[in-house]
Chain A
Amino acid sequence: MSGGESVPGLEEALAAGLTEAEYGEIRKRLGRTPNVNELAMLSAMWSEHCSYKSSKRILAGFPTEGPQVLQGPGENAGAVAIGRGLAAVFKVESHNHPTFIEPYQGAATGVGGILRDVFTMGARPVALMNALRFGPLDIPKNRALLSGAVAGIANYGNSMGIPTVGGEVAFETCHSLNPLVNAFALGVAPVDRIFLARADHPGDTVFCVGAKTGRDGIHGASMASAEFDEAAEAKLPTVQVGDPFLEKLLMEACLELMRGDALAGVQDMGAAGLTCSSAEMASRGGAGILMDLDRVPQRETGMAAWELLLSESQERMLLVVRVGREREVERVFERWDLDAAAVGRITGDGLLRVRHGGGEVGAVPCRLLTDEAPVYERPRAAPESFPEPEVRAGELGEPADWNRAVLRLVGSPGLASRRHIYEQYDHMVRSDTIARPGGDAGVVRIKGTPLGLAMTLDGNGRYSLRDPRRGGALAVSEACRNLAAVGATPVGATNCLNFGNPEKPEVMWQLAESVRGMTEALGAFGVPITGGNVSLYNETDGEGIFPTPVVGVVGVLDDVSTLVRQHFVEEGDLVFLLGPDADDALGASEYLKVFHGRTDGRPPAPGLDAELRLHAALRSLAAAGISRSAKDLSEGGLAQAAVESLFAPDGSCIGASLALGDSVPATTALFGEASARALVSVRPARADALAAVAERHRVPARRVGRVGGESLRIRVNGDEAVGLSLDRVADSFLHGLARAARA
């Protein structure tokens, strides 16, 4: 080994985030002490972020198979067949820690990263979504984080020309120091043109393309695997600045290249940059890589080998080009005015060998960096408080004024319309968005086909905190219910598991129980997981987040003309409530939080069988053109669903009069969050048809009212409980979030 690299010891290994045992293991496997570059690569690749060492065993339990699955977990993104020779390629990924350090750039680069994961597979991105969690908006810092993150997401997605069609936002105290930003992207590719991140042909040339490499984000991977403390704010050099303009060019160049066959494999550069992308590609193909760092286009001078190896400069890709086809690649990138440098070649020795300054400065087996990284079975333990008691309406007392209660709830940051946020996202570019954000699911059509793709992100940290198994199942249930509401059939799911410190047995238990609940629901609905992301150590000064699994489900509409929207359409239409009677339960609900400041209690029981039947009924109603509107019941219960049904995206609105039965107390009837329910409106002439479909699927269907008028009226158990003009509802619901966010 030349290059005069100093040989670090245990102290450096610990500082780089390895444990003493891991360091010992590395020395044993290498048969020697790693030099500084090797240690840098190994510590980054053995970090939680890159190795999944705490979560790998748990993730193995997900269902990942199905006839439609073209690519399950293990690649940059998952892929499922959607008919007409096309594939949907999608994934969700977290950018939590970077967002806390710098909300605008942190969130923006999260979008950039997930887009690269999708176009790396050869798919043209057609839609974006994001799931956000911030602390309460009465704290100015949280307002700044929200507005910074939203502006960053907006700028990146808008500049790329990809519509952001959905997402979700929640506010909890635990996120004041640990905000979450999970970004989702979906692309479309011909099924036979999907590219993989794999290098298996020695002699092929490795290209580094896109942006130049600088010192940004170095150690991002190990940072994302460590808890925050005061000192973290001083770690200034980690901020990466996104350049959506450059990424747009990179995307177009890559997609152009992918129409031909010069590429053997391709991988974007994210965490641990060159190291991770090259080691993963080679190890998937059982090959090695020889890389000459001197040839990497650099933005700064005097970068050390380990800095080049770990840099997380954005908007870069590693391409493996079939030998002899290099000029083709160079020509495409020249046309797009982008750097494309041949930096190495594929070898047969299984090693990642690195040259710098004219000599070899490191050599590590690729598999030691990837598959052979450690995997842990960490201890798990349920908290003593589990299971939580039920919370019944009777023990809470009723609100004095139902009108004010409804206004307060639907105007609260957790439930108010998200338009303050999604109006900052271009959700119409590409002229394919046929269900705009604000509904249960965003839907984009595929021009030239009758197909539509529906998508949604869901997850409720309060539910998961109190019962992670239920929380996981409810997240999947709600996502699939959202898709059914628009008439779509779920074909695949992705997920982002946001949790605290896995070295705490309780956190490991939450993780395992969440995955168990998700798995049960995914199994019941027959939806495979095709990929995802795990973000652990979401803790600051020992304070962790609510366990927050975010589930993204993608569904297909075989005929977009059957799309059902969520808003009421016409005076005189009848409103039906589908699904089982509600329980008298308010545990972990929005109502309990907004009116009693409590996050405790048992979340609703997931009724997977009832869910499955409801989803089938909703799809049948859509396909047969019976339902004119459909809206699932979830957070905020029936009152919230009714309010959301009043407002159409074009700015129009229409009232409704509802009457609810007497099986549960009024509070639960209005605000209970029992699962497997939906509000559907039909023309009066189709009421019988609805009843027949509901009966066929054994779904209880009750007529609860009719559409029309200038107000929302709800009778509960015979009493006129709610009577609100549309103006008053609009003022709370449509503007509540903007008021809180700008305060």
Chain B
Amino acid sequence: MARRRFAIPVFPGTNCEEDVLHALRAVAGQEAELVWHQERSLAGFDAAVIPGGFAHGDYLRAGALARFSPVMEPLAAMAESGRLVVGICNGFQILQEAGLLPGAMQRNRSLAYVCRDVWVRTEETGSPFTAALTPGETIRLPVGHAEGNFHLPDRDLERLEAAGQVIFRYSEPDGSLTEAANPNGSRHHIAGVRNRRGNVAALMPHPDRAWEPALGGTGGLRLFESLVRWSES
């Protein structure tokens, strides 16, 4: 099995790059390198994972200023060429702001940052984060964000749903969708989405914080397994 080479773009203010690096290398057994946002090329990489944090301070809007970073160009090209580009948390916001994924994040309904475990329900398995999961399977993962309240206007949301682009929804452990299980007020309880083609995906919860029992959960393992499986296919 050929190991894949993952790029982990690091913006000023990114702060989960080491977590993702560790998860990809030590946990998922892949090759991974940090790539500073000033890089203009991602040659030699098979895939990219944009980690969480506060790129450019998340000033103006979360993820908004990252689009000015030079690395966004090769990243967009990577997405265009069908290679794997995924985002976690701030990485999700960055992909949205760059127009690579639909929707925008509003502030959490509570207006506060929220850090706790949530459950998510797997909605489809054609995405890099869900390839190793079964539909309807629920997983416990931590969240940590202040702006994770997914928004899309009605018509676009319908299209997103119809195209099966929602990959995870916040749910109860048994998979039911309740207000209490939705940590931020996201429309349709959306926790993760993918693009139409399926090679670009992101989620708000942090699989990079849940890969061994000592951390309080191992839900993230299955997502990294998925990444590896997807990138091999």
Where the two chains meet, the residues of A that have a C-beta atom closer than 8 Å to any C-beta of B are: 151, 154-155, 158-161, 243-246, 248-249, 336-337, 419, 422-431, 433-434, 436, 445, 447, 560-561, 563, 649-651
Contacts and interface: CB of A to CB of B under 8 A. Distances in A.
B13 A426 contact: no
B215 A434 contact: yes
A206 B114 CA distance: 42
Nearest to B217: A650
Given A155-B113, A423-B116, A651-B117, A428 B140 contact: no
B76 interface: no
Interface in B136-166: 140, 142, 144, 146
Nearest to A565: B216
B216 A158 contact: no
B201 to A, nearest CB: 21
Nearest to A336: B12
B77 interface: no
A508 B143 CA distance: 47
A246 B216 CA distance: 32
Interface stretch (B54-62, B95-103, B187-195): B54-62
Nearest to A422: B115
Given A426-B144, A650-B117, 14 more contacts: A158-B113, A159-B13, A159-B15, A161-B54, A245-B58, A246-B57, A422-B115, A425-B115, A428-B142, A429-B15, A429-B19, A429-B52, A431-B23, A447-B22
B115 A159 contact: no
B228 to A, nearest CB: 19
Interface in B41-59: 52-54, 56-59
A236 B227 CA distance: 53
Given A425-B115, A430-B18, A245 B144 contact: no
Main secondary structure on B side of the interface with A: mixed
A434 B53 CA distance: 20
Contact of A248 (B15, B116, B117, B144): B15
Interface in B64-123: 112-117
28 contacts: A151-B112, A154-B113, A158-B144, A158-B146, A159-B54, A159-B58, A160-B15, A248-B13, A249-B12, A423-B114, A423-B115, A424-B115, A425-B115, A426-B115, A428-B144, A428-B215, A429-B15, A429-B19, A429-B52, A429-B144, A431-B19, A431-B22, A433-B215, A447-B22, A561-B214, A649-B216, A650-B117, A650-B140
A312 B215 CA distance: 39
B69 to A, nearest CB: 12
B140 A245 contact: no
A155 B57 CA distance: 10
A494 to B, nearest CB: 25
Nearest to B59: A245
Contacts of B116: 419, 423
B12 A248 contact: yes
Contacts of A151: 112-113
Contacts of B22: 431, 447
Nearest to A147: B112
A649 B116 CA distance: 9
Contacts of A560: 214
A625 B48 CA distance: 42
A430 B12 contact: no
B172 to A, nearest CB: 11
A450 to B, nearest CB: 12
A445 B215 CA distance: 10
B206 interface: yes
B86 to A, nearest CB: 18
B124 interface: no
A332 to B, nearest CB: 13
Contacts, number: 94
A650 B210 CA distance: 12
B209 interface: yes
Contacts of A154: 112-113
A159 B53 CA distance: 7
For A155, A245, A445, A560, the residue with the greatest tally of chain B CB atoms inside 10 Å of its CB is A245
Nearest to B15: A161
A159 to B, nearest CB: 5
For A154, A423, A428, A445, the residue with the greatest tally of chain B CB atoms inside 10 Å of its CB is A428
B57 A244 contact: yes
For A431, A436, A447, the residue with the greatest tally of chain B CB atoms inside 10 Å of its CB is A431
Contact of B12 (A245, A433, A563, A651): A245
Interface string B22-41: 11000000000000000000
B215 A424 contact: no
B142 to A, nearest CB: 5
A268 to B, nearest CB: 20
Contacts of B56: 245
Contacts of B225: none
A200 B215 CA distance: 45
For A154, A155, A426, A436, the residue with the greatest tally of chain B CB atoms inside 10 Å of its CB is A426
A629 to B, nearest CB: 15
B181 to A, nearest CB: 11
A425 B12 contact: no
A161 B144 contact: no
A540 B152 CA distance: 50
Interface string B1-25: 0000000000011011011001100
Contacts of B23: 431
A159 B146 CA distance: 11
B90 to A, nearest CB: 11
A417 to B, nearest CB: 12
Nearest to A337: B12
Contact of B214 (A160, A243, A445): A445
Contacts of B12: 245, 248-249, 336-337
A244 B53 CA distance: 12
Interface in B192-219: 206, 208-209, 211, 214-217
A424 B112 contact: yes
Nearest to A421: B112
B53 A425 contact: no
A650 B12 CA distance: 32
B54 to A, nearest CB: 5
B179 to A, nearest CB: 15
Nearest to B36: A335
Contacts of A248: 12-13, 15, 54
A427 B22 CA distance: 18
Which 6 residue pairs spanning A and B have beta carbons closest together? A161-B15, A245-B57, A431-B19, A159-B54, A426-B144, A428-B209
Contacts of B214: 434, 445, 560-561, 563
Contacts of A447: 22
B117 A161 contact: no
Interface in B159-184: none
Given A434-B214, A650-B117, A428 B57 contact: no
A538 to B, nearest CB: 28
A564 to B, nearest CB: 13
Contact of A431 (B54, B140, B208): B208
A336 B12 CA distance: 8
Nearest to B26: A447
B53 A436 contact: no
B3 to A, nearest CB: 21
B118 to A, nearest CB: 10
Contact of B19 (A419, A422, A430): A430
Nearest to B53: A161
For B12, B23, B53, B214, the residue with the greatest tally of chain A CB atoms inside 10 Å of its CB is B214
Contact of B215 (A245, A337, A422, A431): A431
Contact of B115 (A155, A249, A427): A427
B54 A428 contact: no
Contacts of B113: 151, 154-155, 158, 424-426
